[in-house]
Amino acid sequence: MGYEGDLLLMCPADEFDFSNTYAVVVSGDFPNPCGHLILNLGGLGGMYFHVAGVHTFPRQMTEAGYRLYLKDTGKKELKRFKVSISKPDAAMLKLEELLSEKWTWGVLPHNCASFVEDVVQAGGSAAGLYSNCPRLEDFD
């Protein structure tokens, strides 16, 4: 098992940059044909957040960590979707809440896509996926 990110052990001193928010689709692990969805804050050079595992805390990665994650897991970035956040304070609170609790993976109803949706929708965006299968549809 390769690098999947680090735990956020304390709230950051400054809020993350929600002015450049992206939903990033990467290839999935076998037998997952849907791929994997990661939240990117700040664009290239920013921070990345995702859930990886059946019952574990969500993870964070710097840009260098994200590149290491792709290399170690053999994944490829497939596409990025810009997401407009009108309430960055609310999105930040939701992200902090989710990062502080173990996430239980539930295949399609409670997965990597719903993690990203929870944060961006708390931030005022209506973006999301109908199928919770990021590789098969656009995140809008």
pLDDT digits 0-9 by tens, 59-94:
999 999 999 999 999 999 999 999 999 999 999 999
| 23 CB-near residues (< 8 Å, 6+ apart) | 37, 38, 39, 40, 80, 81, 83, 116, 120, 127, 134, 139
In a domain, 133, yes or no: no
Burial of 63 (0-12, 13-18, 19+ CB in 10 A): middle
Alpha carbon of residue 61 to chain centroid: 10
In a domain, 136, yes or no: no
What's the number of domains the chain is made of? 1
Is the pLDDT reported for residue 3 higher than 90? yes
Mean of all residue pLDDT scores within the chain: 92
* pTM of the shown model: 0.94
In a domain, 127, yes or no: no
Residue 15, pLDDT score: 85
Burial call 13-31: b when 16+ CB within 10 Å, e when fewer: eeebbbebbbbbbbbbeee
Residue 13, pLDDT score: 75
Q: 124 in the Ramachandran plot: left (φ > 0), alpha (ψ -120 to 50) or beta?
A: left
The structure tokens listed for 17 are 């940059």
pLDDT band per the 50, 70, 90 thresholds, residue 115: very high
Which residues are 39's β-sheet partners?
A: 23, 49
In a domain, 49, yes or no: yes
Residue 105, pLDDT score: 82
Q: Give the strand pairing for 36-41 and 47-50.
A: antiparallel
Domain range for 71 is 21-122
